[in-house]
Structure 1
Amino acid sequence: MTDRQWADWHRPQQHYLIEPRYLAGGGDIRHATEFLRASGWKDRSKTGGPLVFHNPDKLVRVVFDPLAQPGGWTVEGRATADRPSWEARFGTGTPVEIIAGLTDALTQQPTAHAPNVWAPLGTHGWEARRGQHVTAVSPDKSAFVQFHQSSPGQAHWWIGARTEHGRAWDAHLSPTTPLSLVQALTTALSDPRPVMRPLGNVPPSDRIRSTSVSVTPAQLGAWQQARLTAARTAMWARSAWTAARPRNRHPATAAPRVPAGHTTGRR
């Protein structure tokens, strides 16, 4: 590294901490894709095409295609003997930290505990409403999670955020999406911690709160490296575990329930 490169690497740059995170804009997709790579996923992308990652057993793939219509992220799980196929789609404006809530969970062994999609939302003050659909709304009314039942036997998960300018992003998940993954997504969605965006990448909305901070490329690189090191360590631990024990599957999907003690009403 030259003296100039070293100086640039340690020169502070203006960034912003954005709250709430679901209104922070898309962010750097490498936050999700590099974690998958470090977790042993295979990059099947082609030059000039979308980014495509496959998990080691080729049962799940993650695609990012900003040029297709409507564009964004697609996560697909193939059917297995004990689990139906499933799909999750996210618009291009979905914050990458929320995408990573689901994609990070794909790299981990599920716990033995029954998932509860609504629990993380209730913990952070989201209001549960029950009508034709089961819905949870953020405290500022800018984001929602809904188990949408359009007709008997027809349902999907609908998640999204809105600003005073209209739709910020939407996500749709098939009802067969493993609930452990939906819970990972709602955990990331309702996380009250801010996310960081560089100068020039702060969405124009009066509903966000931004705090100016100075960080160096060296600091950003160190934070990203720590995240990737954690992914590699977990991958090595899983490899050692699966060499001795059978592999577990995601818990079976089940009908969502509204947590006890929450208010109900129509959205």
Structure 2
Amino acid sequence: MRAAGWRTESDPLHPKVVLHSPDYSHQLTLAPKPGRPQQTWWRIRGPHGPAYWSAEFSGATPVEIVAGLTDALVQPPPGPLRSPFDLLTSHGWRHHREADGSESAASPDEGVSMEWQVSPIAGTLGWAIEAVDGGFLWRASLDDNTPSHLVTSFARALANPDPVLRGRFEIPYGRPLKQEQEEPLGPKATAAHAARLAQARRHRPKAVLGTSPPGAPALPRTASPARSAR
């Protein structure tokens, strides 16, 4: 996000991190809660007004999945989009549609689900995503106004079968995970990270002189001293 020009507005001595987009229309907040990874740590909000939207992720949500949404947020929307459910079913997810308009998809191992929620009383409620493994692992929610390209990018990251890099002592033993050798993943992960930063910098807005964030007080204007008449 910072590579794309987002600014840090939080206290560097405080664990809470707040980032604002260059035009201050979007905000990302990371508020860790040690010992409570099941609670919301990540919050993203869109511009105020009719286009407002928000997304939340619990602390244990894999960062690669959070990045699926944030990477798309700092880039222009792509061309024609696939629906999230079409993308998920192409990766072997099982799709189900209810009579009330609700839809859901479950991963091949039934460990992750993504649901478009519709209430007969309240109408559309948005997206609910949850991962379980004999118990709750993590959850995310995207409201019903979340831009379509962000939802699709999130779903793409959710279904991505590529292995992720984790430290030796960060592996949650006891879960049915497939492990591969870590040596080949190091350079691959470094190259992928560098490519993400380069992509973000390509879409970084150019600085405009003489602008200030919304709500910033205007600097006082001083009158030039009058020239003496000759």
TM-score of the aligned structures, taking structure 1 as reference length: 0.68
Among 41, 60, 72, the alignment partner of 2:26 is 60
Q: Distance in 2 between matches of 1:181 and 1:218?
A: 28
| Match for residue 194 of structure 1 among 148, 163, 168 | 163
Q: Using the alignment, how far apart are the partners of 1:117 and 1:223 within structure 2?
A: 24
Match in the other structure for 2:210: none
Of 157, 182, 202, the residue aligned with 2:127 is 157
Q: What is residue 97 of structure 2 aligned with on the other side?
A: 130
Contact 1:105 1:184 in 2 (8 A): yes
Aligned AA (2:5): G
Identity among equivalent pairs (%)? 32
Cα shift at 1:211: 1.4
- Is the alpha carbon distance of 1:222 and 1:110 closer, same or farther for their aligned partners in structure 2, counting shifts above 3 Å? closer
CA–CA distance in structure 1, aligned partners of residues 81 and 188 of structure 2: 38
> 1:1-31: per-residue Cα shift (whole Å, max 9, x none)?
xxxxxxxxxxxxxxxxxxxxxxxxxxxxxxx
Aligned residue identity for 1:163? D
Deviations 1:55-109 (A, max 9, x none): 11111111111129733100111235xx431111100000000000000011011
Would the alpha carbon gap of residues 77 and 200 (structure 1) be closer, same or farther in structure 2, given more than 3 Å must change? same
Distance in 1, matches of 2:126 and 2:160, equals 23
How far the C-alpha of 1:223 sits from its partner, in A, is 4.8
Aligned residues: CA RMSD:
2.4
Distance 1:124 1:219, change over 3 A: closer
For residues 181 and 187 of structure 1, what CA distance do their matches in structure 2 show?
Answer: 10
Find the partner of 2:8 among 6, 28, 43.
43
Q: Matches of 2:30 and 2:9 in 1, distance apart?
A: 12
Deviation at 1:119, TM superposition (A): 2.1
Where in structure 2 are the equivalents of 1:79-118 lying within 5 Å?
79-80=48-49, 83-118=50-85
Shift of residue 230, structure 1, vs aligned partner? 2.9
Q: Which structure has more RCO (C-alpha within 8 Å, separation ≥ 6)?
A: 1
Task: Say whether the 8 Å CA contact 1:94–1:169 is kept in structure 2.
Answer: yes
Q: Distance in 1 between matches of 2:57 and 2:161?
A: 21
Alignment-mate amino acid for residue 54 of structure 2: E
In structure 2, what residue type is equivalent to 1:123?
S
Residue 71 of structure 1 aligns with an amino acid whose one-letter code is: T
Q: Return 5+ residue gaps in structure 2 as ranges.
A: 208-230
**Contact 1:115 1:179 (8 Å CA) reproduced:** no
Task: Evaluate the alpha carbon distance shift between residue 148 and residue 218 of structure 1 in structure 2; reply closer, same or farther with a 3 A threshold.
Answer: closer
How far apart in 2 are the matches of 1:223 and 1:177?
Answer: 26
Q: Which runs of 5+ in 1 are unaligned?
A: 1-35, 241-267
| Other-structure match for 1:214 | 183
Instruction: Check whether the contact 2:88–2:155 (CA below 8 A) recurs between aligned residues.
Output: yes
Of 120, 126, 137, the residue aligned with 1:168 is: 137
> How many angstroms apart in 2 are the aligned matches of 1:48 and 1:90?
20
**1:218 CA drift (Å):** 7.6
